[in-house]
Structure 1
Amino acid sequence: MPTLFRAGPYRFFCYAGDRDEPPHVHVERDDNEIKFWLKPIRLQKNKGFNTIEINRIQKLVEENQRQLLEAWNDFFDIGDT
């Protein structure tokens, strides 16, 4: 599970087995985890985060979309898309 980005208490990562899915990011804090698609950005799954934190995390994803996509592409050895 490579870490793509960190912001405060949040760790943004992907699973090695995620290669066949569209670019996305998992975010965890404590026992909570959320998943956002990156192109376009949209919530895919949430386990434990409340609405306030979902909005906070989504804003972080939006602000760092380019960096997250580059990290995804680098990890999976994919050319720019």
Structure 2
Amino acid sequence: MPTVLLIFGWRVFFYANEAGEPPHVHCTKAECDAKYWLNFETYDIRPAYEYNVNPADRRMIRKVIFNHFDYIMGEWQRAEQERGK
């Protein structure tokens, strides 16, 4: 599971065995766990789930994802190429 970012205590990563799923990231920090779908065409994110994520953490992780959106999408595409897609 390659870590894409480690910032403000958040670990943003992919699982290597999730081929076939749309672009997304997993995010963890302490007891918080979340997964966000990424839409490159509309430059948008949508939560798949958010466990133990309070409103302040939700704002922070969304800000982190948006501020690094192009980098994250580039890493997703690179990982897809490495998986042979």
Check whether TM > 0.5: yes
TM-score w.r.t. the length of structure 1 is 0.87
CA distance in 1, matches of 2:49, 2:3: 19
TM-score w.r.t. the length of structure 2 is 0.83
Q: CA-atom RMSD, angstroms?
A: 1.3
Deviation at 1:31, TM superposition (A): 2.9
Q: Alignment identity in percent? A: 28
> Which runs of 5 or more residues in structure 2 are unaligned?
none
Deviation at 1:76, TM superposition (A): 1.9
1:70 and 2:35 correspond: no
Identify the structure with the greater helix proportion.
1
- How many residues align structurally? 78
2:56 maps to: 52
| Structure 1 ranges of 4+ moved more than 2 A | none
CA distance in 1, matches of 2:27, 2:50: 10
The CA deviation string for residues 42-79 of structure 1, in whole angstroms up to 9 with x for no partner, is: 1111111111101110011111110000011111217x
CA distance in 1, matches of 2:80, 2:15: 10
Secondary structure of 2:17's counterpart equals helix
